[in-house]
Structure 1
Amino acid sequence: MRIAIIHYHLKRGGVTRVVESTLRGFESLEPTLECVVLGGEVPEDFRYKNCARVVEGLHYSNAQSVTPDSHILLDRIRVAARDALGGDPDLWHIHNHSLGKNNAMSGVIAALAEAGERVLLHMHDFAEDGRPANYQVNLERPEYARNIYPDTPNVHYGVLNGRDYAILKQASIQPERLHLLANPVDAGPTQQVDNTSTILGTLDAKRLFLYPVRAVRRKNFGEMLLRAAAAEDGDVFATTLGPTNQNFVTAYNNWQALAHELELPVRFGIGETGGWSFETIMQSAHAILSTSIAEGFGLAFLEPWLFGKPIIGRDLPEITADFKAHGIHLEGLYESLPVPISWIDMNLLEAELHRELEKAYTAYQRPLPKDAVERAVSAISPDPEHIDFAGMNEALQQDVIRRVRSDSEARQALPELGNTADPASISENAEKIELNYGLEHYVEKLVDLYKSIGSADQNTEPQYYDPDKILDGFLQPERFRLLRT
């Protein structure tokens, strides 16, 4: 079977990591699959460059001066695939086709569907899920904007979690063409770990709480600083990577400045400045921290256990429900970090919510519900006397951090944040993760899915699912958070 895997680029990131893990898993198959990976950019550090091809025009639209018409881009994709495989692919495995990163992609998908090609649309993220600017990109080619989700037996859909599965099912996507395809949890080849005491000594830490992420707003760095403001002596909190997106640089710099001003035990970007390997940094940690307010799959909730480390911080029930259903214990997580409403300027909060909600609904070409702000506030209010810290913007979060840092009574008003987890969970969780989310399991499921799609009827007159129904599933005031704007 000949497979063409497509993504906009193969730079370091979540999708590239999945692609590399997939190819590593394919190496153990007998007979092996013939694969080519097509991207608008193939950097030198992509681990499978020998089976990758650059396709001009496939990159993000905002990363190129002109995005070609859909039929031109598809012709280039076909030529590259044939050149690598010696013939047409039996199946196209396309990542994030609907995310609104390349305005020609919706036309490419429609053309493949209408040609009767067998396609797996693998969706890690959605333009409809708090990404109105991406949604606008899909509207730039109006002739294809309604055709982004083909309804035909030869096109199947893979999603990462039960939430997305439920939304697409509610949007009438046929169950036999809709698949829960969780990402593989693959720590990769074992690397030698340097002396971990060097990191602790350099950071002057008795216990290191590591947040191994790149800096973007939704990672909610303010919550890490709040924990640091109430930490025990000798506890140090650290992130690994700074931002690459210029939109997040200002917020990142502001958090660094606040940590310096308040003398918080926080270190930023130690994966870039310390000269330590990722494995060494992970092994140095007492626990892994996550304060993110939104994830697609939730690798951060699983990977730490494979390094022998517990995870603490913020729970995301719509993501972690799948993991808990497999018996994975996540007792170190909380669903809300409530702060007294008396600490918050509610007029400012509600005004900011109204302004950003209105912007988002306008971008999605929907009227703002009259009770939108009320519903949004209710969703971030665990009770009438408190507001969830993650429901605020950075400015309001900074006010809370300053209060907690300067006032011991304020620290007592916060809930116990839980900087430890049950060590007995580590080995048990690691076993369950390997069983249910390991690379071998993933590849077996993916190959079975390829075979299923490969036997599907090739319908050359597809219909299209109503994209408004998918937007309905995501666009709700209760799901809105300022840190995602």
Structure 2
Amino acid sequence: MKLLIIHYHLQPGGVTRIIDSQLLAMSKFIASEDICILTGEPCGKGALTGSVATEVLPELNYIDSSKPSAAECASMLKKIEERIKSHISPDTVIHPHNINLGKNPVLTYAVHKISETGIPVLNHCHDFAEDGRPENLEFLKYVIGKCFGADFHKILYPDKARYLFGVLNSTDFERLLNCGVRRDLVNLLPNPVHFPEMDTAKKRSEIIDTIKASFDIAQELPIFTYPVRAIHRKNIGEFILLASLFADKANWIITLSPQNPLEKPEYEAWKDFCRNNDVKVFFEVGEKIDFNELMHVTDRCVTTSMKEGFGMVFLESWDWGVPVVGRNIPAVTRDFISNGLSLPHLYGNLFVETETNKSDFPQLTLREQMKFILSLKSSAALKEQLLKNNPGIMKIFQNTPDKIIKQNMETVKNSYSLEAYGKKLFDIYTKLSGQS
């Protein structure tokens, strides 16, 4: 069996991290020389730990959604089809990631066209254009419907025995069924949790000293880390609100800056806001401090995210024995809870009262969020009202019994292991390649 993996890019984190886990998991089943990755831009530093052939074709990357012409789309399609076909042999399985997202509808259409020849495809859906991404959805409809004259829905959700779907959770499983995809074509593929073995010989005090050399953390306070690229949907403003509200209770750390240029202005605005208004948040700590060492001294992993494809943060923190605290995403966490994970430190909403109404904090504009945080800093009455309206946020400081930590570590190990993931993935490939 030969495996052809396709993704827009190989920048560190996100889907690339799952591709790396996929390569590690497949090492027991498929020889590395029988695996190739096609991508739209070169591999980012440290993004992949495995060693497989990687080819770059720029036409596979995100494309500008400002409506390219039909001729431009046709030219891209020809190049993409030719490159994919050059890697096809009778025993090849194609595994594209996130092609239903709408970042490159030409690639979406190309994979569908190639699947029409009988080549088996596992369409691995991490995110969906239909899930709060109206611009992506319109772009898919424009390219597939207007430029190529095809049925948008049939291209995204074909009914073919050798075209299977992989989804990350039961919410997305149900989403595909509601889109008309047959149940036997959908596979539940929750992401595995995998970290390299870490040398923990360093004492906590040594690691803290390393952090203090670059960041002015308070050594006597616990460390609350948001292990994330600070993009809009991660709801960074809410994290900053917590840091302002509870400045005396913890060091508040965000690990990474966004890579997408479109995300940078909001991120820089928040950095300026914190710097100019004495809100002590430590940004980009993960870019100066070894991530595993940082997690070794972290007391709580924080998430304030509004939307996740899978929600790795709810799982991976327990692998270090670190409780996860913050905002719940029920559509994501319900699978984890049903598998035995205990998540006692999550709150549902963070309601704030402004001059006009009462809203969940992420619903406010950037300007409104900043204005509210400034008001909160100067008003004890407003702080008291916020805590009264949101008693659940105090759960982020509750102690976690050792029993729950051990139970969650076992749940993650048993239900989300790399070994189990690899076997399930290979079984899907075998099913695909064995059908005619």
**Pairing partner for 2:346 from 333, 337, 340:** 333
State the partner residue of 1:355.
Answer: none
Change (3 A) 1:279 1:11: same
Deviation at 1:293, TM superposition (A): 0.3
Deviation at 1:23, TM superposition (A): 0.8
Which consecutive unaligned segments of at least 5 residues does structure 2 have?
A: none
Is the CA contact 2:59–2:76 (under 8 Å) kept in the aligned structure 1? no
State the partner residue of 1:352.
Answer: none
Give per-residue Cα distances to partners, 1:405-459, cap 9 Å, x unaligned: 11112212223423334142222101101111111111111111111222233xx
Is 1:245 the counterpart of 2:253? The answer is no
**Pairing partner for 1:76 from 77, 83, 95:** 83
More off after superposition, 140-149 vs 178-187: 140-149
Coordinate RMSD, CA, aligned:
2.3
Q: Percent identity?
A: 31
State the partner residue of 1:398.
Answer: 370
Deviation at 1:287, TM superposition (A): 0.5
Change (3 A) 1:395 1:10: same
**Pairing partner for 2:179 from 162, 165, 171:** 171
State the partner residue of 1:140.
Answer: 143
Paired residues for 1:15-164 under 5 Å: 15-29=15-29, 34-43=34-43, 45=45, 46-62=48-64, 68-79=75-86, 81-82=87-88, 87-138=89-140, 139-142=142-145, 143-144=149-150, 146=152, 147-164=155-172
Change (3 A) 1:32 1:266: closer
Change (3 A) 1:145 1:10: farther
Is 1:197 the counterpart of 2:208? The answer is yes
State the partner residue of 1:262.
Answer: 277
Q: Distance in 2 between matches of 1:437 and 1:221?
A: 28
Secondary structure of residue in 1 paired with 2:55? strand
Which consecutive unaligned segments of at least 5 residues does structure 1 have?
A: 347-385, 458-485
Paired residues for 1:271-420 under 5 Å: 271-272=286-287, 275-340=288-353, 343-346=354-357, 386-413=358-385, 414=387, 415-416=390-391, 417=393, 418-420=395-397
State the partner residue of 1:439.
Answer: 418
Q: Distance in 2 between matches of 1:294 and 1:269?
A: 22
More off after superposition, 432-441 vs 312-321: 432-441
Give per-residue Cα distances to partners, 1:108-128, cap 9 Å, x unaligned: 122123111111100001111
State the partner residue of 1:215.
Answer: 230
Give per-residue Cα distances to partners, 1:306-358, cap 9 Å, x unaligned: 01111100000000000000110111001111223xx2424xxxxxxxxxxxx
State the partner residue of 2:194.
Answer: 186
Q: Distance in 1 between matches of 2:256 and 2:151?
A: 36
Change (3 A) 1:199 1:345: farther
Give per-residue Cα distances to partners, 1:22-73, cap 9 Å, x unaligned: 1112223388893111112232634345422223522222399966342431
Q: Distance in 2 between matches of 1:63 and 1:140?
A: 10
Deviation at 1:303, TM superposition (A): 0.5
Change (3 A) 1:24 1:238: same
Change (3 A) 1:155 1:218: same
Secondary structure of residue in 2 paired with 1:203? coil
- When the two structures are superposed, what TM-score results if normalisation uses the length of structure 2? 0.88
* AA in 1 matched with 2:158: P
Change (3 A) 1:292 1:193: farther
Is 1:422 the counterpart of 2:400? The answer is yes
Q: Distance in 2 between matches of 1:20 and 1:61?
A: 24
Is the CA contact 1:199–1:284 (under 8 Å) kept in the aligned structure 2? no
Q: Distance in 1 between matches of 2:134 and 2:337?
A: 31
Give per-residue Cα distances to partners, 1:256-275, cap 9 Å, x unaligned: 22212331221111122xx3
Q: Distance in 2 between matches of 1:210 and 1:156?
A: 37
Change (3 A) 1:145 1:254: farther
* AA in 1 matched with 2:60: L
Secondary structure of residue in 2 paired with 1:150? coil
Change (3 A) 1:133 1:423: same
* AA in 2 matched with 1:183: N
More off after superposition, 117-126 vs 134-143: 134-143
